[in-house]
Structure 1
Amino acid sequence: MDSPFSDQSGISRDMELKKSAEGTFLRVFRDVPPSHYLLKIQSFSSLKIFKKFVSQKFDAGDYKWKFCLYPNGDKLEGHISVCLELSEVDSLPTGFEINVIMSFFVFDQLRDKYFSIQDGSVRRYHSMVTEWGISEFLDLETFHDPSNGFLVNDTCVFGAEVFVLKNTFKGEFLSKMNAPLTQFHTWVVENFADLKDERYISESFGPHRWNVTLYPNGHQHAKGKFISIYLSSDQFLKPNLFVDILLRVKNQRTDSHVEKKALNHMLSPNDTAWGCSNFMSLDTLKDPKQGYLVNDSCIIEAEVKVRFWEYTV
Protein backbone atom coordinates (compact mmCIF):
# COMPACT_ATOMS: atom_id res chain seq x y z
CA MET A 1 0.00 0.00 0.00
CA ASP A 2 1.27 3.50 -0.85
CA SER A 3 2.27 5.71 2.06
CA PRO A 4 -0.34 8.41 2.74
CA PHE A 5 2.33 10.97 3.61
CA SER A 6 4.91 13.08 1.79
CA ASP A 7 7.90 14.47 3.70
CA GLN A 8 8.39 18.21 4.13
CA SER A 9 10.17 20.30 6.76
CA GLY A 10 11.46 23.82 7.33
CA ILE A 11 9.77 27.14 6.59
CA SER A 12 10.43 30.30 4.61
CA ARG A 13 8.65 33.65 4.55
CA ASP A 14 9.01 33.77 0.76
CA MET A 15 7.13 31.73 -1.80
CA GLU A 16 9.19 28.69 -2.69
CA LEU A 17 9.05 25.27 -4.25
CA LYS A 18 10.33 22.31 -2.29
CA LYS A 19 11.07 18.98 -3.92
CA SER A 20 11.18 15.59 -2.27
CA ALA A 21 11.14 11.99 -3.37
CA GLU A 22 7.33 12.18 -3.14
CA GLY A 23 6.81 15.26 -5.30
CA THR A 24 6.99 19.05 -5.43
CA PHE A 25 5.34 21.36 -2.88
CA LEU A 26 4.48 25.05 -3.14
CA ARG A 27 5.05 26.84 0.18
CA VAL A 28 3.63 30.32 0.51
CA PHE A 29 2.04 32.80 2.93
CA ARG A 30 -1.34 34.19 1.87
CA ASP A 31 -4.07 36.43 3.27
CA VAL A 32 -7.10 34.34 2.28
CA PRO A 33 -8.20 31.56 4.66
CA PRO A 34 -8.70 28.00 3.39
CA SER A 35 -11.99 27.58 1.59
CA HIS A 36 -12.99 24.09 2.75
CA TYR A 37 -12.02 23.48 6.37
CA LEU A 38 -10.74 25.45 9.38
CA LEU A 39 -9.82 24.10 12.83
CA LYS A 40 -9.17 26.41 15.80
CA ILE A 41 -7.53 24.77 18.83
CA GLN A 42 -7.60 26.78 22.08
CA SER A 43 -5.49 24.33 24.11
CA PHE A 44 -2.87 22.69 21.92
CA SER A 45 -0.94 21.40 24.95
CA SER A 46 -3.96 19.29 25.94
CA LEU A 47 -4.17 17.86 22.42
CA LYS A 48 -0.57 16.63 22.53
CA ILE A 49 -1.51 13.65 24.68
CA PHE A 50 -3.34 12.19 21.67
CA LYS A 51 -1.60 10.51 18.76
CA LYS A 52 -4.19 11.57 16.21
CA PHE A 53 -7.04 14.07 16.05
CA VAL A 54 -9.79 13.42 13.46
CA SER A 55 -12.21 16.21 12.54
CA GLN A 56 -15.88 15.99 11.77
CA LYS A 57 -16.90 15.50 8.13
CA PHE A 58 -16.82 18.39 5.69
CA ASP A 59 -17.84 18.65 2.02
CA ALA A 60 -15.55 19.34 -0.93
CA GLY A 61 -15.91 18.31 -4.56
CA ASP A 62 -19.10 16.26 -3.91
CA TYR A 63 -17.32 14.02 -1.40
CA LYS A 64 -17.02 13.82 2.39
CA TRP A 65 -13.62 14.39 4.00
CA LYS A 66 -12.01 14.45 7.44
CA PHE A 67 -9.00 16.49 8.49
CA CYS A 68 -6.43 14.53 10.51
CA LEU A 69 -3.83 16.14 12.75
CA TYR A 70 -0.92 14.31 14.37
CA PRO A 71 0.33 16.79 17.05
CA ASN A 72 3.49 14.74 17.66
CA GLY A 73 4.02 13.49 14.13
CA ASP A 74 2.89 10.30 12.45
CA LYS A 75 6.18 8.73 11.34
CA LEU A 76 8.78 11.12 12.74
CA GLU A 77 8.70 12.67 16.19
CA GLY A 78 9.32 16.38 16.50
CA HIS A 79 6.97 17.31 13.66
CA ILE A 80 3.31 18.05 13.16
CA SER A 81 1.73 15.82 10.53
CA VAL A 82 -1.47 16.57 8.63
CA CYS A 83 -3.64 14.38 6.45
CA LEU A 84 -6.93 14.31 4.52
CA GLU A 85 -9.05 11.21 4.95
CA LEU A 86 -11.77 10.26 2.49
CA SER A 87 -14.97 9.58 4.46
CA GLU A 88 -18.01 7.39 3.75
CA VAL A 89 -15.90 5.07 1.59
CA ASP A 90 -18.43 2.25 1.89
CA SER A 91 -21.02 4.33 0.01
CA LEU A 92 -18.74 4.80 -3.02
CA PRO A 93 -19.01 2.48 -6.05
CA THR A 94 -16.68 -0.49 -6.40
CA GLY A 95 -13.43 0.46 -8.10
CA PHE A 96 -13.83 4.17 -7.38
CA GLU A 97 -10.93 6.52 -8.08
CA ILE A 98 -10.77 10.16 -6.97
CA ASN A 99 -7.94 12.45 -8.08
CA VAL A 100 -7.31 15.53 -5.96
CA ILE A 101 -4.96 18.45 -5.40
CA MET A 102 -4.72 19.42 -1.73
CA SER A 103 -3.33 22.20 0.44
CA PHE A 104 -2.75 22.42 4.20
CA PHE A 105 -2.61 25.59 6.33
CA VAL A 106 -1.49 26.97 9.67
CA PHE A 107 -2.34 30.53 10.71
CA ASP A 108 0.33 33.12 11.58
CA GLN A 109 -1.55 35.08 14.26
CA LEU A 110 1.06 37.85 14.50
CA ARG A 111 1.02 38.77 10.81
CA ASP A 112 -2.57 37.75 10.01
CA LYS A 113 -1.45 35.38 7.25
CA TYR A 114 -1.88 31.70 6.47
CA PHE A 115 1.19 29.57 5.84
CA SER A 116 0.19 27.10 3.12
CA ILE A 117 1.81 24.00 1.66
CA GLN A 118 0.20 22.87 -1.59
CA ASP A 119 0.93 19.40 -2.85
CA GLY A 120 2.09 19.84 -6.45
CA SER A 121 1.18 16.25 -7.29
CA VAL A 122 -2.27 14.91 -8.11
CA ARG A 123 -3.08 12.35 -5.40
CA ARG A 124 -5.21 9.32 -6.22
CA TYR A 125 -7.71 8.06 -3.66
CA HIS A 126 -9.06 4.53 -4.11
CA SER A 127 -10.08 1.53 -2.00
CA MET A 128 -6.48 0.81 -0.95
CA VAL A 129 -5.47 4.43 -0.21
CA THR A 130 -8.04 6.61 1.54
CA GLU A 131 -5.60 9.07 3.18
CA TRP A 132 -2.98 11.45 1.82
CA GLY A 133 -0.98 14.02 3.74
CA ILE A 134 2.35 15.55 4.73
CA SER A 135 4.29 13.86 7.50
CA GLU A 136 6.69 16.76 8.14
CA PHE A 137 4.22 19.58 7.71
CA LEU A 138 5.88 21.71 10.43
CA ASP A 139 8.61 20.94 12.92
CA LEU A 140 7.61 21.49 16.54
CA GLU A 141 10.49 23.85 17.26
CA THR A 142 9.30 26.20 14.52
CA PHE A 143 5.69 25.78 15.60
CA HIS A 144 6.43 26.65 19.26
CA ASP A 145 8.70 29.61 18.44
CA PRO A 146 6.65 32.68 19.56
CA SER A 147 8.17 34.86 16.84
CA ASN A 148 6.54 32.74 14.11
CA GLY A 149 3.01 33.38 15.40
CA PHE A 150 1.68 29.85 14.88
CA LEU A 151 1.08 29.13 18.59
CA VAL A 152 -0.07 32.11 20.67
CA ASN A 153 -1.37 31.61 24.23
CA ASP A 154 -1.62 27.88 23.47
CA THR A 155 -4.03 28.69 20.61
CA CYS A 156 -3.48 27.72 16.95
CA VAL A 157 -5.45 27.43 13.72
CA PHE A 158 -5.10 24.78 11.00
CA GLY A 159 -6.95 24.36 7.71
CA ALA A 160 -7.27 22.42 4.48
CA GLU A 161 -8.41 22.73 0.88
CA VAL A 162 -9.10 19.81 -1.43
CA PHE A 163 -9.93 20.20 -5.13
CA VAL A 164 -11.31 17.19 -6.96
CA LEU A 165 -10.27 16.87 -10.60
CA LYS A 166 -13.16 15.88 -12.83
CA ASN A 167 -12.85 14.74 -16.43
CA THR A 168 -14.85 17.43 -18.24
CA PHE A 169 -12.29 18.18 -20.93
CA LYS A 170 -12.85 18.04 -24.68
CA GLY A 171 -10.14 16.50 -26.83
CA GLU A 172 -9.33 16.66 -30.53
CA PHE A 173 -7.12 14.50 -32.70
CA LEU A 174 -5.26 16.11 -35.62
CA SER A 175 -4.66 13.44 -38.21
CA LYS A 176 -3.02 15.31 -41.08
CA MET A 177 -3.08 18.52 -43.06
CA ASN A 178 -4.77 18.02 -46.39
CA ALA A 179 -3.07 18.69 -49.72
CA PRO A 180 -3.25 22.40 -50.62
CA LEU A 181 -5.92 23.56 -53.06
CA THR A 182 -4.86 26.57 -55.12
CA GLN A 183 -7.45 28.91 -56.60
CA PHE A 184 -6.75 31.72 -59.08
CA HIS A 185 -8.80 34.69 -60.18
CA THR A 186 -8.18 37.56 -62.60
CA TRP A 187 -10.34 40.67 -62.36
CA VAL A 188 -10.15 43.29 -65.11
CA VAL A 189 -11.41 46.58 -63.68
CA GLU A 190 -12.48 48.79 -66.58
CA ASN A 191 -13.29 52.51 -66.77
CA PHE A 192 -11.36 53.22 -63.59
CA ALA A 193 -11.84 56.98 -63.89
CA ASP A 194 -15.61 56.48 -63.73
CA LEU A 195 -15.59 54.46 -60.48
CA LYS A 196 -17.52 56.67 -58.06
CA ASP A 197 -18.70 54.15 -55.45
CA GLU A 198 -16.69 53.59 -52.28
CA ARG A 199 -16.05 49.92 -53.05
CA TYR A 200 -16.47 47.27 -55.74
CA ILE A 201 -16.58 43.50 -55.29
CA SER A 202 -15.46 40.92 -57.84
CA GLU A 203 -17.49 37.87 -58.70
CA SER A 204 -16.88 34.88 -56.42
CA PHE A 205 -14.40 32.17 -57.29
CA GLY A 206 -13.38 28.76 -55.93
CA PRO A 207 -15.27 26.36 -53.63
CA HIS A 208 -14.85 28.73 -50.70
CA ARG A 209 -16.48 31.54 -52.73
CA TRP A 210 -13.66 34.03 -52.36
CA ASN A 211 -14.03 37.52 -53.74
CA VAL A 212 -11.78 40.55 -54.08
CA THR A 213 -12.90 43.92 -52.76
CA LEU A 214 -11.48 47.11 -54.28
CA TYR A 215 -11.70 50.59 -52.77
CA PRO A 216 -10.66 52.70 -55.80
CA ASN A 217 -10.15 55.83 -53.70
CA GLY A 218 -8.80 54.10 -50.58
CA HIS A 219 -10.33 52.82 -47.37
CA GLN A 220 -10.30 54.55 -43.96
CA HIS A 221 -6.99 56.40 -43.39
CA ALA A 222 -5.84 55.60 -46.97
CA LYS A 223 -8.60 57.62 -48.63
CA GLY A 224 -7.40 59.90 -51.41
CA LYS A 225 -3.85 58.48 -51.32
CA PHE A 226 -4.02 54.74 -52.04
CA ILE A 227 -6.21 52.05 -53.49
CA SER A 228 -7.24 49.42 -50.94
CA ILE A 229 -7.67 45.72 -51.82
CA TYR A 230 -9.02 42.89 -49.65
CA LEU A 231 -9.80 39.21 -49.98
CA SER A 232 -12.86 37.80 -48.25
CA SER A 233 -15.30 34.88 -48.41
CA ASP A 234 -19.08 35.05 -48.48
CA GLN A 235 -19.53 31.65 -46.86
CA PHE A 236 -18.95 30.22 -43.37
CA LEU A 237 -15.31 29.13 -43.12
CA LYS A 238 -14.16 25.95 -41.45
CA PRO A 239 -12.07 26.30 -38.27
CA ASN A 240 -8.32 25.69 -38.50
CA LEU A 241 -8.25 26.98 -42.08
CA PHE A 242 -4.78 28.06 -43.23
CA VAL A 243 -4.30 30.07 -46.43
CA ASP A 244 -1.44 31.47 -48.46
CA ILE A 245 -2.76 34.66 -50.03
CA LEU A 246 -1.32 36.68 -52.86
CA LEU A 247 -3.03 39.83 -54.14
CA ARG A 248 -1.50 41.63 -57.11
CA VAL A 249 -2.03 44.68 -59.30
CA LYS A 250 -0.50 43.58 -62.58
CA ASN A 251 1.90 45.72 -64.55
CA GLN A 252 0.64 45.43 -68.15
CA ARG A 253 3.98 46.38 -69.71
CA THR A 254 6.67 44.87 -67.49
CA ASP A 255 7.01 42.34 -64.72
CA SER A 256 7.07 45.04 -62.02
CA HIS A 257 3.81 43.95 -60.41
CA VAL A 258 2.67 45.32 -57.05
CA GLU A 259 1.69 42.49 -54.74
CA LYS A 260 1.04 41.68 -51.09
CA LYS A 261 1.38 38.23 -49.51
CA ALA A 262 0.27 36.44 -46.37
CA LEU A 263 1.75 32.98 -45.77
CA ASN A 264 0.18 30.45 -43.38
CA HIS A 265 -2.46 33.00 -42.49
CA MET A 266 -5.18 31.50 -40.30
CA LEU A 267 -8.70 32.51 -41.22
CA SER A 268 -11.61 31.78 -38.94
CA PRO A 269 -15.39 32.20 -39.25
CA ASN A 270 -14.97 35.51 -37.38
CA ASP A 271 -12.57 36.94 -39.96
CA THR A 272 -14.26 39.26 -42.42
CA ALA A 273 -11.37 39.98 -44.77
CA TRP A 274 -7.62 40.11 -45.22
CA GLY A 275 -5.84 42.75 -47.24
CA CYS A 276 -4.14 46.12 -47.23
CA SER A 277 -5.60 49.61 -47.04
CA ASN A 278 -2.47 51.23 -48.52
CA PHE A 279 -2.04 48.60 -51.20
CA MET A 280 -0.76 50.96 -53.91
CA SER A 281 -0.55 54.71 -54.19
CA LEU A 282 -3.03 56.39 -56.54
CA ASP A 283 -0.24 58.49 -58.04
CA THR A 284 1.65 55.36 -59.11
CA LEU A 285 -1.45 53.64 -60.42
CA LYS A 286 -2.56 56.63 -62.50
CA ASP A 287 0.90 57.48 -63.87
CA PRO A 288 0.66 56.50 -67.57
CA LYS A 289 4.40 55.80 -67.65
CA GLN A 290 4.14 53.06 -65.03
CA GLY A 291 1.94 50.63 -66.97
CA TYR A 292 -0.56 49.67 -64.25
CA LEU A 293 -3.51 51.58 -65.72
CA VAL A 294 -3.76 51.07 -69.48
CA ASN A 295 -6.73 52.28 -71.50
CA ASP A 296 -8.33 53.21 -68.16
CA SER A 297 -8.27 49.55 -67.06
CA CYS A 298 -6.27 47.79 -64.35
CA ILE A 299 -5.86 44.08 -63.70
CA ILE A 300 -6.14 42.62 -60.18
CA GLU A 301 -5.06 39.01 -59.63
CA ALA A 302 -5.70 36.80 -56.62
CA GLU A 303 -4.05 33.49 -55.75
CA VAL A 304 -5.33 31.58 -52.72
CA LYS A 305 -3.78 28.31 -51.50
CA VAL A 306 -6.03 26.63 -48.94
CA ARG A 307 -5.01 24.01 -46.35
CA PHE A 308 -6.75 22.78 -43.24
CA TRP A 309 -6.27 20.14 -40.57
CA GLU A 310 -8.44 17.05 -40.73
CA TYR A 311 -9.38 16.24 -37.14
CA THR A 312 -11.79 14.20 -35.08
CA VAL A 313 -13.24 14.96 -31.65
Structure 2
Amino acid sequence: MSLHLVINEPYNFGPSGRVLVDYKFFISDNINGTYVIFKEKGKELRAFSSVQTRWGLSKFLSLDSFNNPQKGFRDRDFCKIGAELLVSKSKRRKETLTIINPSPSEITPKIRRFSALNSSPQYSEAFQLGGRQWKLKVRPQRNERGMWLSVHLEAQSISPGKLLFIKAILRVLNTDPRRNKEHTVSGRLYAGNYTCGKPSFMPWGNLLQPNGGFIHRNELAFAVKILTISDAKRTDEPVG
Protein backbone atom coordinates (compact mmCIF):
# COMPACT_ATOMS: atom_id res chain seq x y z
CA MET A 1 0.00 0.00 0.00
CA SER A 2 1.22 3.49 -0.83
CA LEU A 3 0.06 6.69 0.86
CA HIS A 4 0.61 10.23 -0.42
CA LEU A 5 -0.33 13.81 0.32
CA VAL A 6 -1.57 15.74 -2.72
CA ILE A 7 -1.97 19.51 -2.55
CA ASN A 8 -5.43 20.68 -3.60
CA GLU A 9 -4.57 24.04 -5.22
CA PRO A 10 -1.14 23.62 -6.83
CA TYR A 11 -1.07 27.10 -8.39
CA ASN A 12 -2.01 29.12 -5.29
CA PHE A 13 1.44 29.31 -3.71
CA GLY A 14 1.95 33.04 -3.44
CA PRO A 15 5.27 34.81 -4.19
CA SER A 16 7.53 31.91 -3.18
CA GLY A 17 6.03 29.51 -5.71
CA ARG A 18 6.02 26.64 -3.20
CA VAL A 19 4.72 25.44 0.16
CA LEU A 20 6.99 23.72 2.69
CA VAL A 21 5.39 20.90 4.67
CA ASP A 22 6.55 18.58 7.44
CA TYR A 23 4.27 15.58 7.82
CA LYS A 24 3.75 12.18 9.39
CA PHE A 25 1.24 9.45 8.64
CA PHE A 26 -0.46 7.27 11.25
CA ILE A 27 -2.81 4.28 11.31
CA SER A 28 -4.99 3.14 14.20
CA ASP A 29 -4.18 -0.08 16.06
CA ASN A 30 -7.70 -1.11 17.10
CA ILE A 31 -6.50 -3.94 19.35
CA ASN A 32 -4.34 -1.80 21.65
CA GLY A 33 -6.18 1.51 21.16
CA THR A 34 -3.02 3.26 19.92
CA TYR A 35 -1.63 4.77 16.72
CA VAL A 36 1.33 3.52 14.68
CA ILE A 37 3.26 6.48 13.22
CA PHE A 38 5.16 6.54 9.90
CA LYS A 39 7.55 9.31 8.82
CA GLU A 40 9.40 9.71 5.53
CA LYS A 41 13.17 9.46 5.88
CA GLY A 42 15.42 12.33 4.86
CA LYS A 43 14.69 16.05 4.97
CA GLU A 44 12.29 17.42 7.56
CA LEU A 45 10.47 19.64 5.05
CA ARG A 46 9.10 18.76 1.62
CA ALA A 47 8.38 21.45 -0.97
CA PHE A 48 5.04 21.27 -2.80
CA SER A 49 4.97 23.24 -6.04
CA SER A 50 3.16 23.31 -9.38
CA VAL A 51 5.71 20.73 -10.56
CA GLN A 52 5.84 18.61 -7.39
CA THR A 53 2.26 18.31 -6.13
CA ARG A 54 2.59 15.00 -4.30
CA TRP A 55 4.81 13.59 -1.54
CA GLY A 56 4.48 10.41 0.48
CA LEU A 57 5.43 6.79 0.95
CA SER A 58 5.38 4.39 -1.95
CA LYS A 59 5.69 1.52 0.55
CA PHE A 60 3.49 2.70 3.40
CA LEU A 61 2.30 -0.71 4.60
CA SER A 62 2.38 -4.23 3.22
CA LEU A 63 -0.95 -5.85 2.42
CA ASP A 64 0.03 -8.82 4.59
CA SER A 65 0.39 -6.53 7.62
CA PHE A 66 -2.75 -4.60 6.79
CA ASN A 67 -4.87 -7.77 6.50
CA ASN A 68 -3.29 -9.50 9.52
CA PRO A 69 -5.99 -9.56 12.25
CA GLN A 70 -3.29 -9.66 14.95
CA LYS A 71 -2.07 -6.20 13.86
CA GLY A 72 -5.46 -4.61 14.48
CA PHE A 73 -5.31 -2.21 11.52
CA ARG A 74 -8.71 -3.31 10.17
CA ASP A 75 -11.97 -3.20 12.08
CA ARG A 76 -14.21 -5.32 9.86
CA ASP A 77 -14.28 -3.28 6.61
CA PHE A 78 -12.94 -0.05 8.16
CA CYS A 79 -9.59 1.41 9.10
CA LYS A 80 -8.45 4.79 10.44
CA ILE A 81 -5.55 6.44 8.59
CA GLY A 82 -4.53 10.05 9.14
CA ALA A 83 -1.81 12.62 8.64
CA GLU A 84 -0.17 15.18 10.91
CA LEU A 85 0.90 18.26 8.90
CA LEU A 86 2.97 21.32 9.63
CA VAL A 87 2.79 23.96 6.87
CA SER A 88 5.78 26.30 6.88
CA LYS A 89 6.70 29.69 5.44
CA SER A 90 9.99 31.62 5.40
CA LYS A 91 8.81 33.04 8.70
CA ARG A 92 6.36 30.77 10.33
CA ARG A 93 4.27 30.01 13.37
CA LYS A 94 4.94 26.39 14.05
CA GLU A 95 2.09 24.22 15.29
CA THR A 96 3.07 20.73 16.37
CA LEU A 97 0.52 18.03 17.14
CA THR A 98 1.64 15.05 19.18
CA ILE A 99 -0.64 12.03 19.48
CA ILE A 100 -0.17 10.52 22.92
CA ASN A 101 -1.02 6.87 23.32
CA PRO A 102 -2.61 6.81 26.79
CA SER A 103 -2.46 3.87 29.13
CA PRO A 104 -5.39 1.46 28.60
CA SER A 105 -5.93 1.33 32.36
CA GLU A 106 -8.59 3.29 34.27
CA ILE A 107 -8.10 5.68 37.16
CA THR A 108 -10.65 5.61 39.99
CA PRO A 109 -10.62 9.03 41.73
CA LYS A 110 -13.01 9.92 44.54
CA ILE A 111 -14.64 13.03 45.93
CA ARG A 112 -14.27 12.62 49.66
CA ARG A 113 -16.82 14.12 52.06
CA PHE A 114 -19.24 14.52 49.16
CA SER A 115 -22.58 16.13 50.01
CA ALA A 116 -25.67 15.87 47.80
CA LEU A 117 -26.97 18.99 49.58
CA ASN A 118 -24.04 21.17 48.45
CA SER A 119 -24.78 23.34 45.39
CA SER A 120 -21.16 24.55 45.03
CA PRO A 121 -18.62 22.74 42.81
CA GLN A 122 -16.97 19.75 44.46
CA TYR A 123 -13.64 18.32 43.29
CA SER A 124 -11.87 14.99 43.32
CA GLU A 125 -8.28 14.63 44.34
CA ALA A 126 -5.78 15.27 41.51
CA PHE A 127 -4.74 12.23 39.47
CA GLN A 128 -2.24 11.48 36.69
CA LEU A 129 -3.50 10.27 33.31
CA GLY A 130 -2.11 10.60 29.79
CA GLY A 131 1.01 12.35 31.10
CA ARG A 132 -0.95 15.19 32.75
CA GLN A 133 -2.62 16.09 36.06
CA TRP A 134 -6.44 16.12 36.14
CA LYS A 135 -9.34 16.62 38.53
CA LEU A 136 -13.04 15.85 38.29
CA LYS A 137 -15.48 18.68 39.04
CA VAL A 138 -19.15 18.02 39.84
CA ARG A 139 -22.07 20.25 40.74
CA PRO A 140 -25.87 20.29 40.42
CA GLN A 141 -27.16 21.88 37.22
CA ARG A 142 -30.78 22.64 36.39
CA ASN A 143 -32.38 22.56 32.93
CA GLU A 144 -35.92 22.19 31.57
CA ARG A 145 -35.90 18.50 32.53
CA GLY A 146 -35.00 19.07 36.18
CA MET A 147 -31.85 18.91 38.30
CA TRP A 148 -28.85 16.97 37.04
CA LEU A 149 -25.38 16.01 38.16
CA SER A 150 -22.83 17.85 36.00
CA VAL A 151 -19.49 16.01 35.65
CA HIS A 152 -16.44 17.61 34.03
CA LEU A 153 -12.85 16.51 33.50
CA GLU A 154 -10.54 19.43 34.33
CA ALA A 155 -6.93 19.69 33.10
CA GLN A 156 -4.46 21.21 35.53
CA SER A 157 -2.01 23.96 34.46
CA ILE A 158 -2.34 24.29 30.66
CA SER A 159 0.31 26.83 29.67
CA PRO A 160 -0.46 29.61 27.13
CA GLY A 161 -0.07 28.45 23.53
CA LYS A 162 -0.88 24.83 24.38
CA LEU A 163 -3.89 22.96 23.04
CA LEU A 164 -5.24 19.58 24.10
CA PHE A 165 -7.71 17.52 22.10
CA ILE A 166 -9.17 14.80 24.31
CA LYS A 167 -11.76 12.03 24.28
CA ALA A 168 -12.46 10.12 27.48
CA ILE A 169 -14.94 7.85 29.23
CA LEU A 170 -16.29 9.12 32.58
CA ARG A 171 -18.16 6.74 34.87
CA VAL A 172 -19.92 7.39 38.20
CA LEU A 173 -19.61 4.20 40.22
CA ASN A 174 -22.36 2.50 42.17
CA THR A 175 -21.91 -0.25 44.76
CA ASP A 176 -23.94 -2.32 42.27
CA PRO A 177 -21.87 -2.17 39.03
CA ARG A 178 -25.03 -2.72 36.97
CA ARG A 179 -26.20 0.75 38.06
CA ASN A 180 -23.02 2.63 37.07
CA LYS A 181 -23.62 5.76 34.97
CA GLU A 182 -21.26 6.35 32.03
CA HIS A 183 -20.74 8.92 29.24
CA THR A 184 -18.06 9.57 26.64
CA VAL A 185 -16.90 13.20 26.57
CA SER A 186 -14.57 15.12 24.27
CA GLY A 187 -13.22 18.64 24.00
CA ARG A 188 -10.62 21.15 22.85
CA LEU A 189 -8.81 22.41 25.93
CA TYR A 190 -6.54 25.43 26.37
CA ALA A 191 -5.59 27.94 29.07
CA GLY A 192 -8.93 29.77 28.84
CA ASN A 193 -11.09 26.63 28.61
CA TYR A 194 -9.62 23.66 30.46
CA THR A 195 -12.67 21.45 31.10
CA CYS A 196 -14.84 19.07 29.09
CA GLY A 197 -17.73 17.01 30.32
CA LYS A 198 -21.44 16.35 30.45
CA PRO A 199 -23.77 18.93 32.07
CA SER A 200 -26.66 16.44 32.36
CA PHE A 201 -24.65 13.38 33.36
CA MET A 202 -27.32 11.74 35.56
CA PRO A 203 -30.40 12.87 37.53
CA TRP A 204 -29.39 14.59 40.77
CA GLY A 205 -32.20 12.75 42.50
CA ASN A 206 -30.26 9.49 42.12
CA LEU A 207 -27.79 10.84 44.68
CA LEU A 208 -30.55 11.68 47.16
CA GLN A 209 -32.03 8.18 47.27
CA PRO A 210 -31.48 6.45 50.65
CA ASN A 211 -29.09 3.55 50.10
CA GLY A 212 -28.97 4.45 46.40
CA GLY A 213 -25.46 3.08 46.13
CA PHE A 214 -23.75 6.11 44.59
CA ILE A 215 -22.64 7.78 47.83
CA HIS A 216 -20.75 5.27 49.96
CA ARG A 217 -19.17 6.33 53.25
CA ASN A 218 -19.59 9.98 52.24
CA GLU A 219 -17.59 9.40 49.05
CA LEU A 220 -18.58 9.66 45.38
CA ALA A 221 -16.35 7.41 43.26
CA PHE A 222 -15.55 7.55 39.53
CA ALA A 223 -13.67 5.68 36.83
CA VAL A 224 -11.84 7.68 34.14
CA LYS A 225 -10.30 6.29 30.96
CA ILE A 226 -8.72 8.46 28.26
CA LEU A 227 -9.37 7.11 24.76
CA THR A 228 -7.46 9.69 22.71
CA ILE A 229 -5.32 12.69 23.58
CA SER A 230 -3.47 15.00 21.20
CA ASP A 231 -1.07 17.63 22.53
CA ALA A 232 -0.60 20.69 20.28
CA LYS A 233 1.87 23.55 20.75
CA ARG A 234 2.32 26.82 18.85
CA THR A 235 5.72 28.49 18.55
CA ASP A 236 7.29 31.11 16.27
CA GLU A 237 10.53 30.09 14.57
CA PRO A 238 12.47 30.88 11.39
CA VAL A 239 12.89 28.36 8.59
CA GLY A 240 16.49 27.32 8.13
TM-score normalized by the length of structure 1: 0.38
Larger Rg, first or second structure (1 or 2): 1
TM-score normalized by the length of structure 2: 0.47
